[in-house]
């Protein structure tokens, strides 16, 4: 596959003239990596940045300008000495229709993922997540995480867009292993939607619960294949360049921490950042925040660890918790160097699963309270094994 056929390349010389970024900047080193990029050397590439200037599927007109605006801001930031092999493939050539763009995005992401390359996508509308999700079609362990103030699902037959893209993904992935909503705000989500999420054994972390324990998104993101981040999850005071701005939401620093958790996840292969609108961003602060989120994602990516008790149990400390009213003990795994926890869930038939969890889940078990994550994955595992 010749990726160059899909993209308008970045003019690094022109950017260097306009931005005057120095030799210690991200732009200098990404430009060097991209300049030496060749199909025969793709094994040396670790992360690919791609822009998708497409806004046909969203009412947020102006967000197609986001990839260029974010790129300019990102290239001004300081270089990451611990990370090499980051290339900027440029902007995806638009299709005749938004569906053509989805298909092209699917082809590119699928090729990069199969080549062991992590992809960072800047849009454009969040409906682009439909094309990205198609790259995971047929993969039984596909986990989608969405950071958003709302839950973009609707019933009935409707044209797919950013306001209902999750519905389209669920229709195309009827056996999606897991959906996780991060940062939703109760006053923006109908109770029927929350009840539906619980019924489907999907996860949702409201903004308030994250404020109480900001480590709570980490186990979810550790188990994620694709994180789709809508900038409307960030409050208006920190991200004015958005159509659905709210006075409540993540602070800018918190959005960067979410991106950092995603970068640390060894399973995550795509990070998408959507709905940034430079035409509403008079001071460029929203594009600057998006660039910093990508910077923290890359900084964490350089520190990824591949510890996984389902593959190698040797580096882990095992904790068996006996329950008075539960037949078998629940097994936890702890990795002291990273202070990460996992829980093993057995199935009635066949093999069970080992899922990321938090230390609080272990503490609940010690108090004879079976953690919610155990019930959720036990039901899910049994259903999938039948």
**The whole model's pTM is what?**
0.93
Q: Residues with Cβ < 8 Å from 347, sequence gap 6 or more?
A: 353, 378, 381, 382, 385
Record the tokens describing residue 182, joined without a space.
Answer: 């991060």
**DSSP label at residue 275:** -
pLDDT value for 357: 94
Record the tokens describing residue 176, joined without a space.
Answer: 């999606």
Q: Does domain 3-301 have CATH number 3.40.800.10?
A: yes
pLDDT digits (tens, 9 = 90+) for 66-109: 999 999 999 999 999 888 889 999 999 988 999 999 999 999 99
Q: What share of the chain is helix, strand, coil (3-state, %, to 5)?
A: 40, 20, 40
Cα separation, 357 vs 359, whole angstroms = 7
Which H/E stretch holds residue 364? helix 359-366
pLDDT digits (tens, 9 = 90+) for 268-281: 999 999 999 999 99
Cα separation, 203 vs 361, whole angstroms = 15
Answer whether 228's CB lies under 8 Å from 268's CB: no
Query: Which of 287-296, 329-338, 345-354 is predicted with the least confidence, judged by mean pLDDT?
Result: 345-354
Rg of the chain (C-alpha set) = 21
pLDDT digits (tens, 9 = 90+) for 181-202: 999 999 999 999 999 999 888 9
Reported as a pLDDT band with limits 50, 70 and 90, residue 19 is low
**DSSP label at residue 93:** P
Q: At CA 284, angle to CA 280 and CA 289, rounded to 5?
A: 105
- The 3-state DSSP class for residue 239 equals coil
The residue ranges of every structural domain in the chain are 3-301, 317-385
pLDDT value for 325: 73
């Amino acid at each position: 596959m010749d990726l160059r056929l899909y993209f308008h390349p970045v003019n690094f010389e022109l950017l260097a003239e306009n931005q005057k970024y120095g030799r210690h900047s991200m732009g200098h080193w990404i430009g060097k990596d991209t300049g030496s990029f060749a199909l025969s050397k793709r094994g040396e590439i670790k992360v690919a940045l791609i822009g998708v200037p497409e806004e046909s599927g969203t009412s947020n007109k102006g967000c197609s300008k986001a990839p260029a605006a974010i790129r300019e801001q990102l290239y001004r930031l300081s270089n990451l000495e611990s990370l090499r092999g980051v290339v900027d493939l440029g902007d995806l050539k638009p299709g005749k229709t938004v569906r053509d763009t989805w298909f092209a995005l699917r082809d590119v992401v699928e090729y990069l993922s199969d080549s062991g390359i992590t992809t960072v996508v800047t849009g454009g509308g969040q409906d682009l997540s439909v094309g990205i999700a198609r790259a995971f079609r047929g993969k039984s362990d596909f986990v989608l995480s969405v950071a958003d103030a709302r839950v973009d699902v609707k019933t009935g037959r409707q044209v797919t867009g950013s306001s209902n893209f999750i519905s389209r993904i669920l229709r195309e992935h009827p056996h999606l292993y897991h959906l996780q909503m991060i940062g939703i705000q109760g006053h923006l989500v109908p109770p029927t939607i929350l009840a539906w999420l619980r019924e489907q054994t999907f996860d949702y972390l409201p903004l308030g619960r994250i404020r109480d324990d900001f480590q709570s998104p980490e186990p979810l993101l550790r188990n994620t294949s694709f994180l789709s981040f809508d900038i409307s999850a960030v409050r208006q005071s920190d991200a004015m360049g958005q159509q659905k701005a709210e006075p409540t939401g993540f602070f800018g620093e918190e959005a960067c921490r979410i991106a950092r958790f995603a970068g640390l996840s060894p399973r995550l292969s795509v990070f998408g950042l959507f709905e940034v609108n430079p035409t509403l961003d008079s001071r460029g602060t929203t594009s600057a925040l998006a660039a910093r989120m990508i910077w923290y994602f890359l900084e964490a990516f350089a520190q990824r660890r591949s510890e996984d008790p389902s593959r190698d149990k040797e580096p882990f400390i095992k904790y068996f918790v006996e329950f008075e009213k539960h037949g078998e003990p629940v097994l936890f795994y702890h990795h002291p160097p990273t202070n990460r926890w996992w829980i093993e869930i057995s199935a009635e038939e066949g093999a069970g699963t080992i899922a990321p969890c938090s230390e609080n889940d272990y503490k609940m078990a010690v108090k004879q309270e079976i953690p919610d994550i155990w019930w959720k994955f036990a039901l899910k595992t049994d259903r999938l094994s039948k």
